[in-house]
Amino acid sequence: MINDEIFQPQFHQEIIDEILFDFHKYGPVNQSHLETLAYYKKLKPETFKKYEPKLMFLMGLFYKTAEPNTFFEAVYSSYAQAILDDTGHNFSPVQADAYNSIKKFTNFSFSAPTSAGKSFLFQEIIKESNGDIIIVIPSRALLSEYLIKVKKLVSKETLVLAFIEIVNTKRTKNRIFIITPERGEELFKNLDKLNIELILLDEAQLSEEGIRGMKFDSFVRRIEQKLNNVKKVFTHPFIVNPEAQFLKHNITNNTDSETYNQKTVGKIYIEHYNNKFKYFSPFEDKIGGRNVEGNLIKEIIQKNGTALIFISKSKIYDGSFMDTYSEYVDLCENIENKDALRYINKLEDFFGTTNDNEKQSLLIFLMRKGIVIHHGSIPLKARLIIEDFVNNKHARICFSTSTLIQGINMPFDLVWINNFTFNGNEDQKTLNLKNLIGRAGRTTLENNYFDYGYVVIERKNKKLFVSRLNKESSISETSELDEEGNSNNEDFADIVDAIKNDTFNTDLHLTESQIARINDSDIDEDIKFILDNFLNAENKPLTAKEYYHLKESRRKNLKKSFENIYKVHLRRQELTNGEKQVLSTSIPVLLWLIQGKSFAEIISLRYAFLSEKDFRRKLRSQLTKSEITLKEFRKLLNDKKVRYSCIANSLPDINFKKGVPLFSTKTHLLEVDFDKVVYDTYDYIDKVLSLSIKDPVSSVFILYFQKTADQRASILSNYIKYGTNDETEIWMLKYGFTFDEIEELKQHIMTIDETEITFKESISEYILDEDNLQLIERYLYTE
């Protein structure tokens, strides 16, 4: 309970003693007690110090304790030693209990707060494992963090990839695949080549998220069908019924579940209105709206702390957040630290903005001031750089959307929730809010040190905030796969049926009913038209520039043919106008990828296309040759607006009725936002081409090749599936290299196949660069 006495000079020992006794009896489960301790730590730090050793023992944070100084602490120290003797690890009681359940049961589902030390628990389990491990994460937003951590944990003999490929077999002892449910199809194709010991399904509350939840559930059901006896662990934050995962999928083999409510970090809650900040308690508020002295956010920034400001993606896209938080942005001076600048330079190289005055990136401009932007449309490689930047303590402010809700482990001293629009039903909104609050407060490793953080909300959201924070969260015991009449089901009915009947084709990543639909369709003329017009005499695809220069009628027919071969696997006969526009926009992006263009080159080409660079260059030439006057030049330039381009959107999506323009039709050519082009292009590469189009379209060409033996169809299928028809490049992709990395590395490879990579002597020069060494050191061996 927080009341005005806490702000008085005297220290109320009886309150502390009451809290400590409660923790001894029930564990650190009472949020109000943790809030009270946070206030004491903030307002009376020196007096509070003497309680911290005992507090760490009572909270079970044995990794933060020193030698016991009292009999009471010695008793808890003995408990810690017992856990160490039993598990072999310096675990907290929560970690120890979860560890023992994971070891004992085939299927274990548990819920725990974000600060419960789940990451450390999983790291220890991974280090102990000898077989293959599948780690399923809710989105690619978590991928970079997992890849970095897992690669540090294991030796070269463990293959770690962000997709499922059986490669480096000569050198590999076991494998760890870190995937999203959408990328799990390859698992079922390779089951006979794997020795799967553990499947870890992290942030499993994804099962509640509409279509993405259905994909997760379909993956769970398939692994339950095929791998019934393999150990599976489901994890969630803040839910009261983790056993729901078993109920919704009829998992009955050796199951156990547990809800852990023990928390490790205190929170101080603050409301904001009219540029003022006031303390409040969401539990039993008796503070009476006491003002926060000074400006807390400024103090945190000036003391090299970090603040997360949770805002909507639209505010990032339109740049309005810069005005709203200008006083905090202005506090951040340009960075001079060489390590920090190295991250920024890497990002500039990746975006292609180095020494290019035309491409102005707000993301990079802010990063130079120690301010980062984080959302799901930032390219994965860029997010990895940004997250490294934050975790190495170079950032002061992070403006983020819901990607941080998905479990990314980037804690902050303060979380300011400006955007109170959460997706899903009320349970999901409550869960997402609690997950976000969990980012407030760094969990340090400092002995005898109680950690706390600040949560700032807007006053208008206070009532709803308090209601959700004090509400229990649960997940449904029924999968959306089983919901009759579910509006999401039309485009996924084949998948639902295939799960029930085990009728997936693992080679084509389609259901047997979808393949039958393709084979029974009348699309041979569309396929032949594409092959005749997409490939030249040497069976090389035409370039994006050549595509743009095709006659309008031919380009229109190519778009229509692509529509036809994409939609033929669906149950419905027609695509929406929005879906058609997405497919149309994806074609030149696909062609750039096929040509092996780096991400920076693709961005540059698309930016030039949208901002009419050729038109502007021609206009300047006319001006310099005095063919037009300066007045005419300005008028012609001013009258010309940005080209239309539909925003990226995952397919199929029957609800995407009409295309949404990336830029307003009133946008001037010189006002094209470079960062928006970056984000949207990445969405096209990832969400549209990789996750939506690749499997059904490449499969159409494979089936046509099997029927006609037309070699061009096999070639084009490879281009669509991999972005290349070069065997070496395809193998390099399977080893986890990106096209950006392939361009330079390829020349140093002697041989590459399923068994191993061997390098030429020239590799010694390549790895003189530290980043290059990190890229391939797992594949370098000394005989």
Token reading at 755: 């068994």
Mean pLDDT confidence for 368-380: 91
Q: What is the pLDDT of residues 284-338, one digit of tens each?
A: 777 667 888 888 899 999 888 899 999 999 999 988 999 999 999 999 999 999 9
Query: What is the reported pLDDT for 11?
Result: 65
Query: What is the reported pLDDT for 594?
Result: 86
Which pLDDT band, with edges at 50, 70 and 90, does 450 fall under? very high
Q: How far apart are CA 569 and CA 698, in angstroms?
A: 12
Dihedrals phi, psi of 781, to nearest 5 degrees: -135, 145
Q: Could you tell me if 216 and 180 are in contact, meaning their C-beta atoms sit under 8 angstroms apart?
A: no
Query: What is the reported pLDDT for 2?
Result: 64
| C-alpha of 47 from chain center | 42
351 Cβ neighbours under 8 A, 6+ residues apart: 359, 361, 364, 382, 599, 600, 603, 678
Query: What is the reported pLDDT for 504?
Result: 84
Query: Pick from 267, 294, 732, 320: which is nearest to 469 by CA?
Result: 267
Element (H, E) at 609: helix 599-610
Query: What is the reported pLDDT for 489?
Result: 61
All structural domains of the chain with their residue ranges: 93-259, 522-721, 726-779
Q: What is the pLDDT of residues 564-610, one digit of tens each?
A: 999 999 999 899 999 999 999 999 999 998 888 889 999 999 999 99
Which pLDDT band, with edges at 50, 70 and 90, does 485 fall under? low
Dihedrals phi, psi of 539, to nearest 5 degrees: 60, 30
Which pLDDT band, with edges at 50, 70 and 90, does 731 fall under? very high
Token reading at 179: 């995937």
Q: How far apart are CA 542 and CA 595, in angstroms?
A: 9
Mean pLDDT confidence for 245-249: 95
What's the chain's length in residues? 783
38 Cβ neighbours under 8 A, 6+ residues apart: 266, 267, 268, 450, 452
Token reading at 478: 């029924």
Q: Look over the chain and give the mean of its residue pLDDT values, rounded to a whole number.
A: 90
Query: What is the reported pLDDT for 346?
Result: 92
Q: Could you tell me if 703 and 515 are in contact, meaning their C-beta atoms sit under 8 angstroms apart?
A: yes
Token reading at 205: 């509350």
Question: What three-state secondary structure class fits 166?
Answer: coil
Share of the chain above pLDDT 90, in %: 61
DSSP-assigned beta bridge partners for residue 258? 110
Q: Could you tell me if 238 and 113 are in contact, meaning their C-beta atoms sit under 8 angstroms apart?
A: yes
Q: How far apart are CA 619 and CA 467, in angstroms?
A: 60
Q: What is the pLDDT of residues 111-153, one digit of tens each?
A: 998 878 888 899 999 999 999 999 999 877 777 778 888 998 9
Query: What is the reported pLDDT for 405?
Result: 66
What top-level class would CATH report for the domain 93-259?
A: alpha beta
Question: What three-state secondary structure class fits 411?
Answer: coil
Q: How far apart are CA 71 and CA 627, in angstroms?
A: 94
pLDDT at 553 over 70: yes
pLDDT at 354 over 60: yes
Mean pLDDT confidence for 357-375: 92
Query: What is the reported pLDDT for 542?
Result: 87
Which pLDDT band, with edges at 50, 70 and 90, does 439 fall under? confident
Q: Could you tell me if 645 and 662 are in contact, meaning their C-beta atoms sit under 8 angstroms apart?
A: yes
Which pLDDT band, with edges at 50, 70 and 90, does 10 fall under? low
Question: What three-state secondary structure class fits 63?
Answer: helix
Q: What is the pLDDT of residues 532-551, one digit of tens each?
A: 998 888 888 888 888 888 89
DSSP string, 208-267: GSHHHHHHHHHHHHHHHHH-TTSEEEEEESSBS-TTHHHHHHT--SSEEEEE-----EEE
